[in-house]
Structure 1
Amino acid sequence: MSHLSENPAEKERFVCIYPVYINNKKTLAEGRRIPTEKGVENPSCNEIKDVLVAAGLNVYTENNKMHPREWNRDAQFRGRVRVQLKQTDGSLCLEKFTSRKDVMFYVAEMIPKLKTRTQKGGGGDTSSQQGEGGKKSKKKKK
């Protein structure tokens, strides 16, 4: 996990991804950058980092940073992820990530598949039965 140096060329190789960019609970005016139906509900920096590290990208988080349009000061809404898209010679690190948009769409697609997202019903061994129980209880609350 390297930090940016004074070299401007190195800074250009990293792009910032704020959780608000892929949050389907946010409006475009609040900073969302992808369509609502492709977004994720309240993603965290750690989830974004986990997905991108698993994809093989050079990533580090800056937990003290916040998106300028984010009014909520809670810790869950803080942070941004720096992602390296290009090598020092200008070539892409991974061919499937040519732009920031590619990274955002990939992250939004993969976060719902994370174990932390799929095991919210308690994480027991009988996942199919627990999944049904979780769905029924949610309907009762509404």
Structure 2
Amino acid sequence: MAVAWNDSKTHSDRERWICIYPLYINSKKTRAEGRKLPKSKCVENPTHQEMRDVLIAAGLKVGVENKLHPRERSKELLYRGRIRVQLKNDDGTPVSPNFPTRDSLLNYLGTTIPNLKVRQGKQTSSEQSSQQSSTSSKKGKGKGRR
């Protein structure tokens, strides 16, 4: 159930941190399905662990929650996860001058996640498997003579 607005909460309280779902930067999703950025700035199937690692490396305070976006159709664990990030200090100034808004943070995630070592390892293995499947000839067992 939604909690009513409370003036006593400050920007440093976890409830005031912004929420980011992996769906927001997933290039496989449409805008209607919840994607927030243009496809050129998005990543293919990002996970909340990758997002968490990038944001912690950027020096931000991050929290992970086991939540699922309402527009996410798949209930698999791969798509679960919500990241909470503190963007502002108690006085309203940005925690990091590099990330004054949610959009600047999403753009950073979209450009940084493809450069992760985990991602680069996955790309090379998927490229190798696609090359092997294209070079191998299909040997079918058709109906033999009767």
TM-score by length of 1: 0.80
Three-state SS of the structure 1 residue aligned to 2:24 is: helix
Structure 1 stretches (4+) deviating beyond 4 angstroms?
none
Distance 2:27 2:65 in 1: 22
Whole-Å separation in 1 of the counterparts to 2:126 and 2:34: 32
Deviations 1:30-84 (A, max 9, x none): 1000001110000000100000000000001102x11110010000100100000
How far apart, CA to CA, are the structure 1 residues paired with 2:81 and 2:127? 31
Shift of 1:91: 1.3
Shift of 1:137: 3.7
Which one of 16, 20, 25 corresponds to residue 22 of structure 1? 25
The match for 1:47 is: 50
In the alignment of these two chains, the number of paired residues is: 125
By how many angstroms is 1:23 displaced?
A: 0.1
Amino acid corresponding to residue 92 of structure 1 in structure 2:
P
SS at match of 1:119: helix
Q: How big is each residue's C-alpha offset from its partner over 1:63-112, in whole Å with a ceiling of 9 and x where there is no partner? A: 2x111100100001001000000111211110010111111110111111
How far is 1:138 from its partner? 1.7
Query: Is 1:91 matched up with 2:83?
Result: no
Amino acid at match of 1:61: V
Query: In structure 2, what is the Cα distance between the partners aligned to 1:84 and 1:30?
Result: 25
Q: 1:78 aligns with which of 77, 80, 93?
A: 80
AA paired with 2:31? L
Which of the two has higher C-alpha Rg?
Answer: 2
Specify the alignment match of 2:117 in structure 1. Answer: 115
- The alignment's C-alpha RMSD in Å is 1.9
| Structure 2 unaligned spans of 5+ | 1-5, 135-146
One-letter amino acid of the structure 1 residue matched with residue 57 of structure 2? A
> What residue is the counterpart of 2:130 in the other structure?
138
Change (3 A) 1:71 1:135: closer
> Following the alignment from structure 2 to structure 1, what is the Cα–Cα distance between the partners of residues 26 and 103?
14
